[in-house]
Amino acid sequence: MSASQASADERKHPGLNLGRTDPAAHAEAEEIVFGFWVFLMTDLVLFALLFATYGTMLGRLAGSPGANVLFDIKSAAMETAALLLSSFSFGMASLAMKYGHRRGVLLSWLAVTLGLGMIFLGLEIHDFISMIHNGGAPERSGFDSAFFALVGTHGLHVTLGIVWIVVMMVQVQVFGCDRAVKIRILRLGLFWHFLDIIWVGIFSVVYLQGLA
């Protein structure tokens, strides 16, 4: 295979390319990671429906407080910062895995990602409790129901991602970075970055637009 053909194959790979550091894992990951992309696209359809539902419920307050009363933009901004930083830390973990750095380096970056994810989740739960206390419970209006359905579904995904990170940290500690562990981390990375993108949409459409 020529250098240009190899370069083209690397560009077409559906995830973090391991071709130069672990050709066997690279070959096995190509089909598996592409399949995970397909799964993420089905998840994207779910979020698209939740965004659409939220859009149709913006004015359905039924006498409940509006976004200007219920939303805490500072808290939402801190949640956004935590999730964006967690994508960076997971990227560093992925590079540590790819280039065969010491196991401790990979675990350290995964631990940072885990901590940032938990900070995000803690802030979000605090926001939910505050909204309910201020009269924005999910059953109060169509707007509140749509908000909790959209943001809560994302929060549930983050919770699953946090559990997945813990599982992968245990597997790295027990099995090291073997082929199966690398492929699982590749899929976890796609899932985590996907949640980051969805949150940017939520922050822009829900929080910023709601307080405009």
pLDDT, tens only, 114-161: 999 999 999 999 999 999 999 889 988 999 999 999 999 999 999 999
When the pLDDT of each residue in the chain is averaged and rounded to a whole number, the result is: 85
Find the helix or strand (DSSP H, E) in which 169 lies.
helix 142-175
Question: What does the domain layout of the chain look like in residue ranges?
Answer: 32-210
Distance, CA of 58 to CA of 60 (rounded, Å)? 6
For residue range 168-187, list pLDDT tens digits in order.
Answer: 999 999 988 788 888 888 88
Lookup: tokens for 116: 């940032």
Q: Half-sphere exposure of residue 84, counting CA atoms within 13 Å on the CB side?
A: 9
The pLDDT assigned to 105 comes to: 92
* Range 32-210 classified under CATH 1.20.120.80: yes
* Residue 210 burial (CB count, 10 A): 18
The model carries a pTM of: 0.85
Q: Could you tell me the pLDDT band of residue 6, with boundaries at 50, 70 and 90?
A: very low
